[in-house]
Amino acid sequence: MRKLTLAMVIATLSCGAVAKPVQSNNEAWQSKYPNQYASWAETQETDAVIDLLEENPNLVILWGGYGFMKDYNKARGHQFAVTDVIQTLRTGAPMGDKDGPMPAACWSCKTPDVARLIEEKGEAAYFDPKFGALGHEMSNAIGCNDCHQSGTPKLALSRPYAARAMATIDQPFEQQDRSIKAAQTCGQCHVEYYFDKTNHNAVKFPWDNGLTAEDAEAYFDAIEFADWTHAISKAPMLKAQHPEYETWSTSAHADMGVTCIDCHMPKVTNDQGRKFSKHNVGNTLDNFDAACSSCHDSQSDMAALLKANKAEIKAAQAQAEEVIVRAHFEAGAAWDAGATEAEMKQALTHVRHAQWRWDFAIASHGVHAHNPGEALRLLASAKEIGLQAQVELKKVLDKHGVAQPVALPDISTKAKAQALMGYDREADQAAKDKFVEERVKAQWNTPLK
C-alpha cells in the first residue's frame, strides 16, 4: 500500500500537468475530432423525460423532507445535463447570486465549464458561491474537456477532487493503464459524493475506508454526517447519488478488466475504415457486436438476461421499500406518542442504514447490467436492517401504548404522497418558471434543450 500522502502529492502534480487553458467549448473540438463529435452529438437523442416519482410514489416518502421528494427523473443523455440541473425543482429558483437553496457544487458534474472555472479561479472560489451565482458561466453540456486534455486525445481527470479520491483508494490516475484511466474519467461523476461543509462545500467522495456501501456508511457515521433529517421519522439520513464506479469496481466485469468504455464507448469503424471510440455513451445492446460479442453468445440471450436481472432487482427493491416506508411511519407514530431521543436512537440508526443500502443499490444507473449480485445483496441487507428497525420501534410503540399495526396513509400516487409531506408543488413550479424566464433566459448565456 503506497503512502497516502505520497499518492496525494502525485495526484496534485498530475492535476498541475492538466492545468493549461481549458477548452470547455465542445464545438471547438469538432473539426479535429469529427467522428467522436458526431457520435457525442447523438446523446441529444436520449431526450425522454421519465418521472420516477410518478412511477414509484414510495420515493416521495423515503426522501421526505429532502429535495429529491420534489423532483426526480430518469437520467437523460449527456447533452441535457445543464438543462436538467437548471430545470429540476431540487435546485430551487435563485433570483439572486446569494439565494439558495443549493451550492455551486451542484454544477460540478454537468459541464466542462466547471474545469475551466476551477483552473481560472481555484477550487475554493468555485465552490464557495451559491448555485445561482455561476449560472452565467455554464453554457456547455458534458463533453470533450471533461475527460481529455484541451485539444488532445490524452485522457485527464479534469476535477482535482476526483484525482485526490483516486489517490485515496491507491489508484493514482497517472499510474493506471489507459483502460482504467478511461474508467476513472467516467468515475469523476458516476460516483457517490457529498458536499463537505467544512471545506467550502467542496465535492468529496467518501472513499476513505473503501468503495463499498458499508465503507461509505462507516465513513459517514464516523463524521456524523447527514444529508437531511427525515420529515416523518426524524432519522439522520444519507442520500446516495449514482455510485456506478463503486458498484462496477466489485463486479465480474472489473475482475476481467472490462470497463465503462469497453461497453458504452466501443471502438467502431468510420466510412474511411478508421477506428474511433463511439462517444454516444449509449445502450450497450445497441453496440452488441462491437462491445459484447467476445464474451456473450447472442444479443437475444443477453437481452433476456438483463430483463431477468432487472425484474429480480425491482422485486427486491419493492420488498425493501415496503419495510423501510413502514418504519418511517412507525417512527413518526412513536414521536407523536412522546418517545424520547434515547428511546429512538437505535431504531433510527437502523432506518438510516437500511435506506442507505437500498439507495446505494437503486441509485446506481444500470446496476442490473453492471453488478446485479451487488444490488441484490444490498437490497437484502436493506430489508433485514429495516426489519430490525421495526423490532426496535415496536418496543417503543408498546412502551407508549400505541396500537399496532400503525395505520399507513394513502400514498398511492406522487400527488398524494407529496401532499402528505406538505409540499406545494404548484408554488415551487411557478417560482421555477419565473426563474427560468427572468434569469436563465434573460441574463445567463445558457442554452436550454
- Residue 56: give its domain's CATH number: 1.10.1130.10
**69 within a domain of the structure (yes/no):** yes
pLDDT of residue 8: 38
**292 within a domain of the structure (yes/no):** no
Distance CA 122, CA 129 (A): 13
pLDDT of residue 284: 85
**138 within a domain of the structure (yes/no):** yes
Total domain count for the chain? 1
Q: What is the DSSP string of 104-127?
A: GGGGTTT-THHHHHHHHH-HHHHH
pLDDT of residue 446: 87
Q: Which residue has the cell 469497453?
A: 262
Q: List Cα–Cα distances, 405 to 37, 107, 231, 326, 331, in angstroms.
A: 58, 44, 21, 10, 12
- For 349, the grid coordinates are 440508526
Q: List Cα–Cα distances, 179 to 153, 295, 366, in angstroms.
A: 14, 18, 20
Find out whether the peptide bond into 405 is cis, omega within 30 degrees of 0.
yes
**270 within a domain of the structure (yes/no):** no
For the chain, list residues with pLDDT below 50: 1-19
DSSP-derived letter for residue 307 is H
How many Cα atoms sit within 13 Å of 243 on the Cβ side? 31
Distance CA 401, CA 237 (A): 27
pLDDT of residue 283: 84
pLDDT of residue 20: 60
- Enter the pTM of the model: 0.92
Can you say how many angstroms the Cα of residue 131 is from the centroid of all Cα atoms in its chain?
17
pLDDT of residue 55: 97
pLDDT tens for each residue of 115-136: 999 999 999 999 999 999 999 9
pLDDT of residue 289: 86
**402 within a domain of the structure (yes/no):** no
pLDDT of residue 44: 86
**Contact status, residue 112 vs residue 146, Cβ threshold 8 Å:** yes
pLDDT of residue 197: 94
Containing structural domain, residue 109 = 1-205
**31 within a domain of the structure (yes/no):** yes
**293 within a domain of the structure (yes/no):** no
H-type alpha helices, 400-438: 414-420, 425-435
Distance CA 344, CA 396 (A): 7
pLDDT of residue 17: 41
Q: Which of 198, 197, 190, 128 is nearest to 159 (CA)?
A: 190
**116 within a domain of the structure (yes/no):** yes
Helices 213-222 & 341-362 angle (0-180, nearest 10) = 140
**Contact status, residue 192 vs residue 240, Cβ threshold 8 Å:** yes
